[in-house]
Amino acid sequence: MTLLRDHDLARAFDHASHTYDRLTALNPGYRTDLLRSARRLQLPGGGAGLHVLDLGCGTGASTRALLRAAPRARITAVDASAGMLRRALAKPWPARVRFRHLTAEEVVTTGEGPYDAVFAAYLFRNVTDPDGVLAALRTLLRPGGRLAVHEYSLSGSAAHHALWTAVCRGLIIPAGSITGDGALYRHLWHSVVRFDTAPAFTARLADAGFTGVRAAPVAGWQTGIVHTFLARNGAAGPQGEEAR
Ligand SMILES: C[S@@+](CC[C@H](N)C(=O)[O-])C[C@H]1O[C@@H](n2cnc3c(N)ncnc32)[C@H](O)[C@@H]1O
């Protein structure tokens, strides 16, 4: 199967946006796993004085997790799909959260930043050029800034691969097909199978120049299937502490 990319992927998410929140609500742990990953950023002081980027915010589930993890941070949330953003905007948000219709590749052209932290949940296996986006993030993050990538990235074990395929064939694709989004959910299945394993994505982050890179598994049935990848932009500050 050819994976959906760029414009085609955005259109598929536009269509799926109507049912996205209902479908993800069926996934036990979807929201608590996002919250755990956002908390793993360990933003100090509830995020006071910090500017955080939510890359590929979708309908705002990852934005909500960030807001809970860092209730005092300013958050800019961007997504390539106008439909997903419309769903996000229909929800109540404090004034320090704003949404913009931009691709991950375009954010760097806005001249905004630097950001103190970036959260990218379920984005990276969707982008055409992950190394290009990682390079852009290094210019968007301030030195020592934090990155958390929450992603379907298989452990490399045959058991986790088989479980992912069984869940996709038995649940995710049939449920997504009912709403006319079969192509997107088949893309989900294949994009995960073809994406980096957790060790490979860890190496990709290090190759891009991120430091302190580590992968942490999520809990529950997605252990070995979803990971949080944590990293910093370049050198850490004095005594291993980042500047703020
Ligand atoms: C699976 S959803 C996840 C949304 C949200 N982060 C969450 O955790 O629920 C992936 C989102 O990434 C967006 N996306 C995919 N490729 C993108 C790109 N190149 N730039 C910006 N957004 C992108 C899609 O439009 C979609 O809303």
Per-residue pLDDT tens for 36-58? 999 999 999 999 999 999 999 99
Res 117: pLDDT? 98
Res 90: pLDDT? 98
Ligand 1 closest atom vs CA 62: 8
Other residues' Cβ atoms within 10 Å of the Cβ of residue 157: 11
> Which tokens sit at 229?
């990848």
Across 127-154, average pLDDT: 98
> Which tens digit of pLDDT belongs to each residue from 184-217?
999 999 999 999 999 999 999 999 999 999 999 9
Expressed in angstroms and rounded, the spacing between residue 10 Cα and the centre of ligand 1 is 8
Which value, to the nearest 10 degrees, does the dihedral of the CA atoms of residues 191, 215, 77, 2 take?
Answer: -10
Res 28: pLDDT? 86
**Residue 23, pLDDT above cutoff 90:** yes
CB proximity list for 170: less than 8 A, separation 6 or greater:
none
Mean pLDDT of the chain: 95
Res 88: pLDDT? 98
Across 93-118, average pLDDT: 96
Res 235: pLDDT? 64
Quote the pTM value. Answer: 0.96
Q: Detail the DSSP E strand segments found in the chain.
A: 51-55, 74-79, 97-101, 115-121, 141-152, 210-217, 226-233
Res 236: pLDDT? 53
Of 219, 225, 224, which is closest to residue 31 (Cα–Cα)? 219
Task: Give the residue with greater pLDDT, 236 vs 140.
Answer: 140
Mark out the alpha helices in 108-227 (DSSP H runs).
130-140, 158-167, 173-178, 182-194, 198-207
- Are 38 and 148 in contact by the 8 Å Cβ rule? The answer is yes
> Which tens digit of pLDDT belongs to each residue from 63-90?
999 999 999 999 999 999 999 999 999 9
Expressed in angstroms and rounded, the spacing between residue 98 Cα and the centre of ligand 1 is 16
Confidence band (pLDDT; 50, 70, 90) for 240? very low
Domain range list for the chain: 6-240
Ligand 1 closest atom vs CA 188: 1
CB proximity list for 157: less than 8 A, separation 6 or greater:
224
Name every protein residue with a CB atom under 6 angstroms from any ligand 1 atom.
9-10, 13, 34, 56-58, 61-62, 79-81, 84, 103-105, 121-123, 126-127
**How many residues appear in the chain?**
244
Is CATH 3.40.50.460 correct for 6-240?
Answer: no
- Residue 77 phi, psi dihedral angles, 5° rounding: -120, 130
